[in-house]
Structure 1
């Protein structure tokens, strides 16, 4: 995946209308996930500044309701 944020970054993120990024609440690599998300946002800002970004949380139903706002 790191290749996408180096050599292919401009090709992949150019003229994008919508980015839908999905986090998995069961992921054990939050730092890596946040790094990739940040890289996507930076690429979108540079190559498609008028695009819309939607961030989804997969498996949010596994998180107790009291902890969802944290």
Structure 2
């Protein structure tokens, strides 16, 4: 996991990895129900480290999590 300038793990990166662990993919992966251009959103599942903080998920992502075998 990437560290910030103080050598600490950023909270949004922890959220990103936990969401991977329970079944979410990146928002720019073409197999997802909705696809965004990489680095263009503040979604936890996008890559946007150089452009600001990540702070949200979408309703469709929660719907995907409800179908995940890791959240049963």
TM-score by length of 1: 0.25
Normalized per residue, the structure richer in helix is 1
> Considering only CA atoms, is the larger Rg found in Structure 1 or Structure 2?
1
TM-score by length of 2: 0.25
Normalized per residue, the structure richer in strand is 1
